[in-house]
Amino acid sequence: MLIKKADDIPSSEITPKSLYLNRRKFLVAAGLAGAAAAAAKGILDIASPERAYAEEKIPNLQKSPFSTNEKITPEQTVANYNNYYEFSTEKDEPAKLATKFRTHPWKVKIEGDVSKKQEWDIDSILKFAPAEERIYRHRCVEGWSIVVPWIGFSLSELIKRADPLGKAKFVEFTTILDPSQMPGQTRNVLDWPYVEGLRMDEAMHPLTLLCFGMYGTTLPNQDGAPLRLVVPWKYGFKSAKAIVRIKFTEKQPVNTWNRSAPNEYGFYSNVNPNVDHPRWSQKTERRLGEFLKRPTLMFNGYDQVASLYSGMDLKKYF
């Protein structure tokens, strides 16, 4: 991202403090060779004594055919390593700072080029479709990745209820603005509130998930509760958290990171190993909890979306 620990070290290469400390202890106890082998198996993990885990189990989950069969990243790793600048630019702090974030009551406004402008409460939205558990790969622009059992349903279910007009070509998502609860919003790190957008065909694709849970329970606060997007073939910052407004527009939205650094973060932000970030390569990634890197897959391995971009120059429209 824009904040760096040192001018000559990309953030994709910086080891999280908690991971480093755990690894150091393990090396002392088991020796270098044993630690390397354990890391390769994904044993090394990110831990924190304070965490904002969700407690409400989601019943009657349906298994999704869209799921990958890859090994799931441990829950405590995902819950304690977050890009959530509304709380902090440090990845190990949102889990602590979000513990008292209020997610009920919660309203989501539907606006713009639709025939049914309205406001839905979160409980109504959760009834739009049966809850599916989808095990998705998730790739961050900084070079790390995870595999998570997200819970939700296709965003298209909400879009159908909004009944977009024919001129609606894009969907814009606005997240909550509440500096009293989100200390990161008191700083000018980004232009708040956080805004993201998708082209209509991207939003309607069945892979695009309107997400309200993970690991069998409702979303933890630091992972985007109570409602977020998950767009698995795009870099993680496209998956807006804590959504409060969905607007249908004829013109392409200006998403927050594109406004902040247009040469680094494009509107489409498809996972593409052939387009480097200006400050680091995107050709490889490191799965959290693992030691070795792996090649990055085009569209994060979700080849079924390739037809959405047929004929487009994906280096120009990055």
What backbone torsions phi and psi does residue 311 show, to the nearest 5 degrees? 85, -5
Asked whether residue 1 is assigned to any structural domain, the reply reads no
Asked whether residue 115 is assigned to any structural domain, the reply reads yes
What would the pLDDT profile of 170-223 be if each residue is shown by its tens digit? 999 999 999 999 999 999 999 999 999 999 999 999 999 999 999 999 999 999
Asked whether residue 246 is assigned to any structural domain, the reply reads yes
**Conformational region of residue 216, where left means phi above 0, alpha means psi within -120 to 50, and beta covers everything else:** left
* Structure tokens given for 194: 């956080």
Which residues span the domain enclosing 183? 11-309
Asked whether residue 26 is assigned to any structural domain, the reply reads yes
User: What pLDDT, on the 0 to 100 scale, is given for residue 61?
Assistant: 95
Low-confidence ranges of the chain (pLDDT < 50): 1-51
Asked whether residue 109 is assigned to any structural domain, the reply reads yes
User: What pLDDT, on the 0 to 100 scale, is given for residue 166?
Assistant: 97
Would strands 195-199 and 217-218 be described as parallel, antiparallel, or unpaired?
unpaired
- HSE toward the beta carbon, residue 105, CA cutoff 13 A: 6
Neighbours of 146 (CB within 10 A): 20
* Structure tokens given for 23: 């690894």
Asked whether residue 5 is assigned to any structural domain, the reply reads no
Instruction: Please state the domain count of the chain.
Output: 1
Please, which residues have CB within 8 angstroms of residue 132's CB and are 6 or more apart in sequence? 61, 62, 63, 64, 151, 152, 153
Sign of torsion, CA 315 270 263 10? negative
Asked whether residue 316 is assigned to any structural domain, the reply reads no
> What is the model's pTM?
0.85
CATH code, 131 = 3.90.420.10
DSSP assignment of the chain equals: ----SBTTB-GGGPPPHHHHHHHHHHHHHH-HHHHHHHHHTT------S-------BPPSPEEPTT---SPPPPHHHHHT---BTTTBSSTTSHHHHTTT---SS-EEEEEESBS--EEEEHHHHTTSS--EEEEEEEE-TTSEEEEEEEEEEETHHHHHHH-B-TT--EEEEEE---TTT-GGGGSTTS-SSPEEEEEHHHHHSTT-EEEEEETTEEPPGGGTTT-EEE-TTB-GGGS--SEEEEEEESSPP--HHHHH-TTT--SS-B--TTS-BTTB--SEEEETT-SS-EEPPGGGG-GGGGGGGTT--TTT--
Asked whether residue 4 is assigned to any structural domain, the reply reads no
What would the pLDDT profile of 32-45 be if each residue is shown by its tens digit? 344 433 343 433 34
What backbone torsions phi and psi does residue 313 show, to the nearest 5 degrees? -85, 100
